[in-house]
Amino acid sequence: MQNVLNSVKGTALGVAEYLTPVLKESKFRETGVLTPEEFIAAGDHLTHHCPTWSWAVGDESKIKPYLPKDKQFLITRNVPCRRRCKQIEFVGEENLVEENDPDGGWVETHHYNPDDAGSSGLEDKVCEMKLDSSRIEDEQAADMDDPRNLEDGDADGDDGDDEDGAAIDMDEFEESGLLETVDPSNALLPAPNEKPKAVVSSEVEGDSVVRTRTYDLHITYDKYYQTPRLWVIGYDENRKLLSVEQMYDDVSQDHAKKTVTMETHPHLPGPNMASVHPCKHADIMKKIIQTVEEGGGELGVHMYLIIFLKFVQTVIPTIEYDFTQNFNITNHK
């Protein structure tokens, strides 16, 4: 049902974007939006400071006339994604930040309730922990720094090496041929008559080999919302396209199928791509601008995409794309 609603909404927004005139005058400081020219300036700044990003043209039939032909959208390829979101997400109480939001609100997953601090599950689990005294005694006895071990060694009056007898004569050891059998340069080579073992897929055996996915990320200009828009498409380690559900595994579960939906790329044909909906981007940027100005700084429009990539990473936290410069929100000029 959610996918149907997203599809209908996407079609309606496509029509609205077509009818929306191109923004000509800058409203960056007032509302946090961009003109196409400001988007290009921010993109040039991003590609200069982070060379993994570059400009792309896309399909000739989908070129937007309000953007330069050779700078239709930004792209970075083969970004690693080593973990799934479920492996790192906090499991606990959620707090709805904006209850009256028609799009469902923004969820604060790391909400802390001080009233429940005295009865937290973590505290109960710590109280239930028990120590095996016999195991502790064994470990202490095996510890070379333990005083008991030092006392035992002093009482014997002899080093442990003296109990092993006389040292082995190296000439006899070489003549015995044992040195050749343990030659480290041949240790990993199979024996002449040994058949090679069949390679078994680690996924079947369930070993600990990490299967790294990769993603291509695109940033387009959304004419309706007048902000950048992030698109991602994922591949497995064999560069095979991930399924929709597999890509949702790499999206924060608070945003999957809500803030992040599968839609048609505005510049490319082919399968739908996961996109971070831009309806909140201008409001977030406006708040950041106000915070910087309250701290006595001034935020230039060329920094837009640097900051944009940092705040959308909360939606796709395991895709390791952010190698951009650091940004001080309290005072930036």
Q: Which residues are catalytically annotated?
A: 279
Around 206, how many Cα atoms within 13 Å sit in the side-chain half-sphere? Answer: 0
Rg (CA), the chain: 30
Cα(291)–Cα(286) distance, rounded to whole angstroms? Answer: 9
- What is the β-pairing status of strands 107-108 and 227-235? unpaired
Query: CA nearest 255: which of 78, 108, 76?
Result: 108
Closest CA to 222 of 305, 303, 278: 278
Q: Distance between CA 16 and CA 9 in Å, rounded?
A: 10
Query: What are the φ and ψ backbone dihedral angles of 283, each rounded to 5 degrees?
Result: -65, -45
Amino acid residing at 310: K
* Closest CA relative to residue 278, chosen from 217, 216, 219, 325: 219
Distance (Å, whole) CA 18 – CA 94: 38
Q: What is the DSSP letter of 60?
A: G
Tell me how far CA of residue 177 lies from CA of 169, 172, 193, in angstroms.
13, 9, 20
Please list, in sequence order, all residues whose beta carbon lies within 8 angstroms of the beta carbon of residue 259, skipping any fewer than 6 positions away: 276, 277, 280, 315
Query: How far is CA 233 from its chain centroid?
Result: 14
